[in-house]
Amino acid sequence: MDDAGRHPRRLRLSLMRDIALASAGLIACLGTYVLVGWTVALSLTGSRVLPSAEFVGTREYRRLFANVRWWTAVENLALYCLCVIGTCIVAGYLLAILVDRSRGWQGFYRTIFMLPMSMSFVVTGVVWQWLLNPALGIQHAVRELGWVDFRFDWLVRGDRAIYTLIIATIWQHTGLCMAMMLAGMQNVDANVWRLARIDAVPVWRVYAQVITPMLRPIFFTAAVVLFSMSVKSFDLVATLTGGGPGFSSDLPGRFVVDMIGRQDLGMAAAAATILLCTVCGALVPCLYLELRRYRSR
């Protein structure tokens, strides 16, 4: 296809390709990058109910950094990321090993573990809100069973509400990690297992010393995916806790939307810009790996 210019029909292929690329580029630029730039620009103005063109430098950022609610949301996000990424990867990996060993039953178990993933965060939020309901949910049921001072009222406790989001997220996303790692394990060369059997290496050592290092890129991808989901997360906070009690379980992703709703555009834009920078932080190593893989093709 290198001599496209000389051949009218090949020209048609490459011309249409260029048109397709140009339109996609236009959509991506207008639909994402121009809007992103707009928000960043807005964060440097003193906009409130309506956007204004008055340039105020970093004033909105200083207001944001002086806001207690914002810092609560940021601390929550750090805790949320740590717990969700750690637990999903470890639990997903252990489940993947078990499912991998369960010859013949892999499809059955995988289907069950990935089932929560197919549902909306809104459904998850509504269902877990009911389970965690202090008056009628798990707490009540366990007390009925005879453990009278059992306490599981995290949904209404300011210092614990963030953990309800963590639990629900882990429930929903462990299946994804499991599936990614299971896929990695099944791509492992069958000779690894054959050799291990010949040398009588115990199964757990093959997993610990051969498979785990081979899956390192998958651990990395899973962490990046979970991190970017956590930074973006809005749906679950909005439906499960609504950020409450008070603002104790707020996350930055909801803070931004809330500020747009409260018509404090300058602060919303500043917070959104910080979100963007946070995701970009995770993006750089990811892009680097992707580019390296792309070059080697």
Partner 1 sequence: MRIHRVVLHVILCAAAGVFLFPLLVAVLTSIKPLGEIRDGSIFGLPQAPTLAAWSKAWASACIGTRCTGISAGFASSLSIVLPAVFGSCILGAITGFALSLKRSRPADLLLLTLIVSLFVPAQVILYPLIVVERELTIYGTRTGVIVADVIWSLPFVTLLFRNFFLSLPREIVAAASIDGAGFFTILFRVLLPLSVPAYAVALALQFTFLWNEFLFGLMLSAADKQPMTVMLNVLAGPEFGTLEYNVNMAAAMEAAVPTIAVYLLAGRLLARSISGRLSNG
List binders of partner 1 among 52-91 (CB under 8 A). none
Residue 112, interface with partner 1 (CB under 8 A)? Answer: yes
Residue closer to partner 1, measured from CB, 141 or 208 = 141
Considering only 83, 93, 184, 267, the residue that binds partner 1 (CB under 8 A) is 184
Q: For residues 234 and 244, what is the distance between their CA atoms, to the nearest angstrom?
A: 13
Residue 177, interface with partner 1 (CB under 8 A)? Answer: no
Stretch near partner 1 under the rule CB under 8 A, chosen from 60-68, 80-88, 181-189, 205-213: 181-189
Token pair for residue 20? 């397709």
**Considering the complex, what minimum distance in angstroms separates the CB of residue 184 from partner 1?**
8
Query: Which of positions 18-47 make contact with partner 1 (CB under 8 A)?
Result: 18, 20-21, 24-25, 27-29, 31-36, 38-39, 42
Stretch near partner 1 under the rule CB under 8 A, chosen from 52-60, 69-77, 120-128, 209-217: 120-128
Report which of 180, 271, 182, 270 is spatially closest to residue 226, judged by C-alpha positions: 180
Considering only 57, 78, 147, 187, the residue that binds partner 1 (CB under 8 A) is 187
Query: Which of positions 230-289 make contact with partner 1 (CB under 8 A)?
Result: 231-232, 234-235, 238-242, 244, 253, 256-257, 260, 265, 268-269, 272-273, 275-276, 279-280, 282-283, 287
Considering only 54, 62, 75, 111, the residue that binds partner 1 (CB under 8 A) is 111
Residue 119, interface with partner 1 (CB under 8 A)? Answer: yes
Residue closer to partner 1, measured from CB, 6 or 9 = 9
Which sign does the torsion angle of CA 282, 284, 290, 293 carry? Answer: negative
Residue 13, interface with partner 1 (CB under 8 A)? Answer: yes
Residue 180, interface with partner 1 (CB under 8 A)? Answer: yes
Residue 219, interface with partner 1 (CB under 8 A)? Answer: no
DSSP code per residue over the chain: -TTGGG-HHHHHHHHHHHHHHHHHHHHHIIIIIHHHHHHHHHTTBT-SSS----B-TTHHHHHHHT-HHHHHHHHHHHHHHHHHHHHHHHHHHHHHHHHHHSTT-HHHHHHHHHGGGGS-HHHHHHHHHHHT-TTTSHHHHHHHTT-TT----GGG-TTTHHHHHHHHHHHHHHHHHHHHHHHHHHTS-HHHHHHHHHTT--HHHHIIIIIHHHTHHHHHHHHHHHHHHHHH--HHIIIIITT-STTTT--HHHHHHHHHHTT-HHHHHHHHHHHHHHHHHHHHHHHHHHHHHHHT-
**Considering the complex, what minimum distance in angstroms separates the CB of residue 67 from partner 1?**
16
**Considering the complex, what minimum distance in angstroms separates the CB of residue 70 from partner 1?**
14
Residue 130, interface with partner 1 (CB under 8 A)? Answer: yes
Size of the site for partner 1 (CB under 8 A): 103
Residue 129, interface with partner 1 (CB under 8 A)? Answer: yes
DSSP code per residue over 218-236: HHHHHHHHHHHHHHH--HH
Considering only 123, 192, 196, 210, the residue that binds partner 1 (CB under 8 A) is 123
